[in-house]
Amino acid sequence: MEKTFASARRAKTLFWGEIMAETSAHGAAHHAPPQGFISKYILSVDHKVIGIQYTILSLVAAFVGMALSWAMRIHLAWPDVHIPLLGMLAPNGAPGGQMTPEYYLSLMTMHGTIMAFFVLTAAPFAGFGNFMLPIQVGAADMAFPRLNRASFWVTFVGFLLACATFVIPDGPPLSGWTAYAPLSAVGAVAGPGQGWGQNLWGLSVAVFCIASLLGALNFIVTVLDLRTKGMKLSRLPLSTWGWFIDAWVSLLAFAVLLPTCLLLVLDRLGGTSFFIPGGLVFNDQLQPHSGGSPLLFQHLFWFFGHPEVYIIILPAFGIVSHILPTFIRKPLVGGWKVITFSEIGVGTLSFVVWGHHMFVSGMSPYMAMVFSVPTLFITIPSVIAVLVWVFSLYGSNIRFDTPMLFSLGFISLFISGGIGGFFLAQPSTDSYLHATTFVVGHFHFTMGLSAIFATFAGFYYWFSKMFGRMMNEKLGKWHFWLSFVGVYCVFMTMHLTGFAGAVRRYSAFVDDFMIPLIPANRFISVAALLLGATQFVFLYNAIWSFFKGPKAPDNPWGATTLEWDTTSPPPFDNFGGRQMIVHHGPMEYDGEASVMQTSAEASVAGT
């Protein structure tokens, strides 16, 4: 019997050894360089091309989302103004170019959906992560390149489904990006856009969930199985740690949102009653449902929704922690461990605080306290990370290049948004602020603009490696300062109007107590329009630099990690057939002296 078990164990070991060997080979030299335009640029399995595809998709989605926010801000500041182009695109939602209150809610819904999923989730994680992660661990590609290709095109289909809501007669849904039931569950009777517009919304988000799950699995296996010789976990760059931890959080969070979307679609099309209670009346029509729970939808959505905040912000943590040592020329305080364990703490605690989004849902005060306490605890690892960044800056000879400016901007915005979180973590103050523009300012600071500033930092930092040309530094600094000032003008003012009681999701300031806030509201709109216009400086810089920027050296920043130990842009197999052997950690800086991770020289930083 013992011999039988021993044989079984040996067979199991051989089986899994073959699987892992096959995976390693699959990620190393398993596919030949593509031939032809389609296989090289459209249906490529090269992680670098896929990373660029994600980046371009996110850039397009960002400008779509920005256009929607412009339309909303124009209407909020000047509710009687006619927008001719909007009238042509949405004759039902904006007859004659004048936006209806319902269509305002539709634009708000799609702005939030596109920005949260197809920009903030896709760009820093799938865009930069796909391009850089295999190179930073010394691999030739992702573990599953064809799965990687599938994840991008599934994401692309999800984006098309979201955009399709604008061209169908029904129009986009008006239920908000959170799509609370029963408004989102009962169908067209609930209002404009709640027919096929809401169906397409549910399918779009479900498809995006599938793509995110595929990508997360690929990231995890690549980090665990394809690290080059000497690349211990302790030697991983902090950007790779951010993507790796983020992949685990994504795997758990999107696995909840996917069935939630499918249950919502079943309620709408299949006659089920998961989220629709009995006795519900819409437009004087009794709905043929019973037994469902709208609160169940909120619990399921926010069990995903709060980890989603950190799905967005964890790659930003990693990118900024990766960039800072390069421009202060010394390791971060505490080395890799403090930041990494802070990210693990944030990712873990994010799954136990979802209830603070539901303080005004009728939750028991005792249960509210249960969620309030861990919401305060989750600030601890975040504050530790911020202190590491700030203390590391102290006494440093900082190089104020554009990537560093955007990294510093990220820290500032994250701190400003985080302070607002203390007010919303308390049920007593959240009850007053929950429905106000204070919340809008808070989450734009914390997860929106913070992540976008980190994304800009990564773009300016890695552009030379991705495309082989340098971006214009002067235009980059103009882009930073105009964006930084504009963000504070828009979203800090929203905090103040929120304290004064300005209600979010209103399409016009009509209540008596809101009328004195109209000048502040118009100031926000003007600042938002200028902030959006500033992004065309970035777009021009990126396009001009791609075609006419000066040729980039292989390591223009004097960095130490593996992506700077290859050509710009990298060859098809990333390292030109070289086997990378890692001897050091990623932060080998001591003033102007630095040591590459692959160098056999002695350490200069003790890491």
Q: Are 300 and 256 in contact (CB under 8 A)?
A: yes
Q: What is the SS3 assignment for 126?
A: helix
**Model pLDDT for residues 227-248, shown as the tens digit of each residue:** 999 999 999 999 999 999 999 9
User: Considering the domain boundaries, does residue 11 fall inside one?
Assistant: no
pLDDT score for 16: 38
How many domains does the chain divide into? Answer: 1
User: Considering the domain boundaries, does residue 331 fall inside one?
Assistant: yes
**Model pLDDT for residues 437-455, shown as the tens digit of each residue:** 999 999 999 989 999 999 9
Q: Average per-residue pLDDT in the chain?
A: 90
User: Considering the domain boundaries, does residue 232 fall inside one?
Assistant: yes
Q: How far apart are the first and last CA of the chain?
A: 50
Is pLDDT at 14 greater than 80 in this prediction? no
The tokens describing 468, both together, are 């082989």
User: Considering the domain boundaries, does residue 9 fall inside one?
Assistant: no
Is pLDDT at 34 greater than 80 in this prediction? no
What integer is the mean pLDDT of 96-120?
94
Q: Amino acid letter at 89?
A: L
Alpha-helical (H) ranges within 165-237 are 196-225
Please provide residue 551's backbone torsions phi and psi, each rounded to the nearest 5 degrees: -60, 135
pLDDT score for 345: 95
Q: Are 102 and 192 in contact (CB under 8 A)?
A: yes
Is pLDDT at 206 greater than 60 in this prediction? yes
Query: The domain that contains 427 carries what CATH number?
Result: 1.20.210.10
What integer is the mean pLDDT of 420-428?
91
What per-residue string of b and e applies to 487-522 under the rule 16 or more CB within 10 Å gives b? bbbbbebbbebbeebbebebbebeeeebeebeebbe
User: Considering the domain boundaries, does residue 21 fall inside one?
Assistant: no
Q: Are 337 and 268 in contact (CB under 8 A)?
A: no
Is pLDDT at 75 greater than 80 in this prediction? yes
User: Considering the domain boundaries, does residue 453 fall inside one?
Assistant: yes
Partner residues linked to 469 by β-bridges: 551
Is pLDDT at 30 greater than 60 in this prediction? no
User: Considering the domain boundaries, does residue 39 fall inside one?
Assistant: no
pLDDT score for 23: 45
Place of tokens 């995903």: 304
CA distance 551 to 457: 20
CA distance 598 to 138: 10
Partner residues linked to 581 by β-bridges: 229
Domain extent for 297: 44-278+287-594
